[in-house]
Amino acid sequence: MSTYTTREQAVAVFSHLFEIMLRDETFTSTMRRDGLSVRFVHTAPEFEMYVDPDGVRIDDSPATAALAIKMSCDTAHALWSGHLLMPVAVAMGRIRIKGSVAKVIEFAPLLQPAFDRYPAIAREAGVAA
């Protein structure tokens, strides 16, 4: 059984997570300074989310992003919940990343607050742990 019961539920949780992240000046200014943008391609349910310092867009990605990360919503849930480590998920093929390795290295430390906030956001949206 899938963690997310509907596309709307998944979109609401993941977009809310990154909208909160974008309120953090360090996160936003670092993304802006380093030219970081990310296109998340989620499957089961399917949607794309584009994140740059100016906001979050759903299914409205520019042609290019500094990074593209593809994973299922179940994998995203396990990752953001802290039950799956990014290097393990990449090695297992559960997450596919396109873009500069240097950009991935720059972006990864910025995500720590997302790991801290995700469980509460998911729980509030009715996502089972």
Cβ contacts of 69 within 8 Å, gap of 6 or more: 38, 39, 40, 41, 95, 96, 97, 98
Q: What are phi and psi of 108, to 5 degrees?
A: -55, -50
Q: Give yes or no for a contact between 127 and 3, defined as CB atoms under 8 angstroms apart.
A: yes
**7-124 CATH, one of 3.30.300.130, 3.40.190.10, 3.30.1050.10, 3.20.20.70:** 3.30.1050.10
Convert the pLDDT of each residue in 40-78 to its tens digit: 999 999 999 999 999 999 998 777 899 999 999 999 999
> Any idea which residue has 């039950």 for tokens?
83
Q: What is the pLDDT of residues 15-27, one digit of tens each?
A: 999 999 999 999 9
pTM of the full structure: 0.92
Ordered by start, the domain boundaries in the chain are: 7-124
Cα(90)–Cα(96) distance, rounded to whole angstroms? 6
Closest CA to 100 of 69, 66, 63: 66
